[in-house]
Structure 1
Amino acid sequence: MTTLVIAEHNNQTLNPATLHAVGAASRLGEVHLLVAGDNAAEVVNQARQVEGVTKVLSTDASYYAGGLAEELAPLVVSLAADYRYIAATATAAGKNLMPRIAALLDCSQISDLTEIVNENTFIRPIYAGNAFVTVSSDEPKLVLTFRATAFDAVAAQGGNADVVDIAPAAEQGLSRLVRRELVQSDRPELTQARVVVAGGRALGGAEQFDAVLTPLADALGAAIGASRAAVDAEYAPNDYQVGQTGKVVAPELYIAVGISGAIQHIAGMQDSKVIVAINKDPDAPIFNVADYGLVGDLFEIVPQLTTALKN
């Protein structure tokens, strides 16, 4: 069976999350990768080298530049007849696009998969990750999204896929991209980082958030994350949010600073290899998932930890 994976990119670089989707889709059989963009020849070149991809479908039009779901969905539907599975990573872009495709195809979508049992059976989290459900479907066509942290990424190089140029679908004109505001950072991308330092509302403000966490993150070469409460209080930008309504991460080391451990947050980081929690409340729920816990004043503990790491 063949899976069509929709590549996520910025017209210059293939998003590493797509490599996880290809890794997951490879378990279901042959994998084709769709690259729809505007002057995205470099992305096509990167896509053809991805390990496990046998064919790259390439199409180019100005209205694909922003990756708008309203424009991409009809294109994917026009290609769907040749595929049992239509798949993407469960990123913000994937969550926006794939339900529209499933609706147009009038088929089921199985979202946020963490395990593939067989060609018809999958496992996904429910209740904010507190339980997992096994879902089985024998429908002739399925739309799938894969949780990136649950599947290993394939190698970005080593493949030699055929590239097939396809005609773009007609422009829909239902939406337009006005502007995109991205947080610029020299740090690793949050979902790809080996180490994440995350802060919560207990930091007390944006200045303290930056003053306490930035030196620690610098010492560890880490990405910086935040709880929803910290983001809502404007301590950190929305792009930092880790949790059920933010980003799902699974780094080798996750340090939670002043985060109480609400279910919403834990759903986004509980798969981390090692979790360290720093909180003055010994009964904070975060300690239930932490491998190591430090009970005390974060404004004393974190600077001491930072100093020790630098020395």
Structure 2
Amino acid sequence: MQQPGVDKNLYKGVWVYAEQRRGEVSSIVYELLNEGKRLAEKLGTILSAILIGSNIKSKAQELINRGADKVYVCEDPIFAEFQDDPYSSVLTQLIEKEKPEIVLMGATNMGRSFAPRIAARIRTGLTADCISLEVDPETRNLWQTRPAFGGNIMATILTPGHRPQMSTVRHKVFKEAKTEEGRKGESVEYKIDVQTLLNRTKFLGFIKDANAAMNFAVADIIVSGGRGLGNREGFKLIKELAELLGAAIGASRAAADLDWIPHSHQIGQTGKTVSPKVYIACGISGQIQHIVGMNSSDIIIAINKDAACPMMQIATYALEGDLHEIIPCIIKEIKSSRRGYESCL
């Protein structure tokens, strides 16, 4: 169905929303810039980044160095902390004025919160939690692929009669754009009449998640536990191994639902998407919902009694046996090798 009154020829360019918190740009933005640049080149158009915040214009060159040809900076004290209403209002205004053909946002708490509001206001489609993007240079349609029906199938969605085409994209499904110091680009300050911005909430404060011991986004190694641990006590083994390796602790949905570990550690379709150098899956059978959240890891080590389970099949190294015997042996060997190393110093 054609969007009423839309002339698709007026819509040009690929946009990436440059999510930031307290002046720090989220790493998912660099992933989106990398993919956005590829799409823009296929379409023969430019890549723009949208930066909304307070005292953040200094970050514009950083985004240009990562591939943005243009950066729209929307700066005002009202944007010091994320709130749905003002952020949605200003980005809606900017889209209606500049008319991009594609808008990409991270499938983060922030992106999932206000991307649907924007799509509803400008009467376009939104595909959430995408894991793959492609464009057709002739029709200029964006092919947006996401897990559906509990992750059992992959659905590719198009919005051919609407512009812009909007997607939120999962973390760690694309590689980060490399930095090119001194790259040339344009920074445009977008003047906002804050009186026109809807704001029905008041920011009271920010409480950090005390359970998140390590940020999955920066973890090179993740040790995850599943139902095969047997009980809550099983995570003591996971924690000991993770501490020795300097790793983050992950979990399957089954383990989190059993309240063995907080849901903030959950990896998978309904949890975090990760892509560490090493992913160690302990007692995780590997349902598709979990695998879509970690299968881009460089090395996968699976420990499981069931050699035929999906996780053992996709593993780089599969250790068949009782994890309560295997993990203590690994811990013992790590400690022993380190004592030997220290004695040589």
TM-score range, shorter chain: 0.7 to 0.9
The 1-side partners of 2:210 and 2:309 are apart by 33
RMSD: 2.7
Paired amino acid for 1:266: I
Give the drift of 1:76.
0.9
- In the other structure, the counterpart of 1:252 is 277
Q: Conserved in 2, the CA contact under 8 Å of 1:227 and 1:242?
A: yes
Aligned length: 309
- In the other structure, the counterpart of 1:108 is 125
Q: Conserved in 2, the CA contact under 8 Å of 1:187 and 1:222?
A: no
Give the drift of 1:26.
0.9
From 63, 87, 112, the counterpart of 2:104 = 87
Q: 1:164 to 1:121 in 2, by over 3 A?
A: closer
From 33, 55, 69, the counterpart of 2:49 = 33
What SS is found at the alignment partner of 2:291? helix
From 162, 175, 196, the counterpart of 2:186 = 162
Give the drift of 1:269.
1.7
Matches within 5 A, 1:117-132: 117-118=135-136, 119-127=140-148, 128-132=150-154
The 2-side partners of 1:8 and 1:265 are apart by 26
Paired amino acid for 2:134: I
Matches within 5 A, 1:137-216: 137-138=159-160, 139-156=162-179, 158=181, 159-168=183-192, 169=194, 170-183=196-209, 189-204=215-230, 208-209=234-235, 211-216=236-241
Matched, 1:57 2:68: no
TM-score (norm 2): 0.78
The 2-side partners of 1:136 and 1:238 are apart by 32
The 2-side partners of 1:265 and 1:188 are apart by 19
From 284, 292, 296, the counterpart of 2:317 = 292
CA displacement 1:67-107 (0-9 Å, x = unmatched): 22332111111111321112112223222221211111101
Paired amino acid for 1:38: S
CA displacement 1:16-73 (0-9 Å, x = unmatched): 111011111112322211111133345445434x321122222233332332233211
Q: 1:253 to 1:117 in 2, by over 3 A?
A: farther
Q: Conserved in 1, the CA contact under 8 Å of 2:127 and 2:144?
A: no
Q: 1:226 to 1:31 in 2, by over 3 A?
A: same
The 2-side partners of 1:270 and 1:239 are apart by 19
Q: Conserved in 2, the CA contact under 8 Å of 1:258 and 1:279?
A: yes
From 4, 17, 26, the counterpart of 1:15 = 26
Q: Conserved in 2, the CA contact under 8 Å of 1:113 and 1:145?
A: no
Gaps of 5+ in 1: none
Q: Conserved in 2, the CA contact under 8 Å of 1:22 and 1:153?
A: yes
What SS is found at the alignment partner of 1:259? coil
From 68, 72, 92, the counterpart of 1:77 = 92
- In the other structure, the counterpart of 2:63 is 47
Gaps of 5+ in 2: 1-11, 41-45, 338-345
Of all paired residues, the percent bearing the same amino acid is 30
The 2-side partners of 1:204 and 1:167 are apart by 58
Q: Conserved in 1, the CA contact under 8 Å of 2:211 and 2:262?
A: no
Give the drift of 1:204.
4.9
The 2-side partners of 1:154 and 1:191 are apart by 15
Deviates more, 1:62-71 or 1:178-187: 178-187
Deviates more, 1:161-170 or 1:69-78: 161-170
Give the drift of 1:226.
1.3
What SS is found at the alignment partner of 2:177? coil
Q: 1:117 to 1:63 in 2, by over 3 A?
A: same
TM-score (norm 1): 0.86
Give the drift of 1:151.
1.9
What SS is found at the alignment partner of 2:25? coil
Q: Conserved in 2, the CA contact under 8 Å of 1:187 and 1:221?
A: no
Paired amino acid for 1:196: I
The 2-side partners of 1:177 and 1:289 are apart by 45
The 2-side partners of 1:43 and 1:238 are apart by 33
Q: Conserved in 1, the CA contact under 8 Å of 2:212 and 2:264?
A: no
- In the other structure, the counterpart of 2:35 is 24
What SS is found at the alignment partner of 1:245? coil
What SS is found at the alignment partner of 2:272? coil
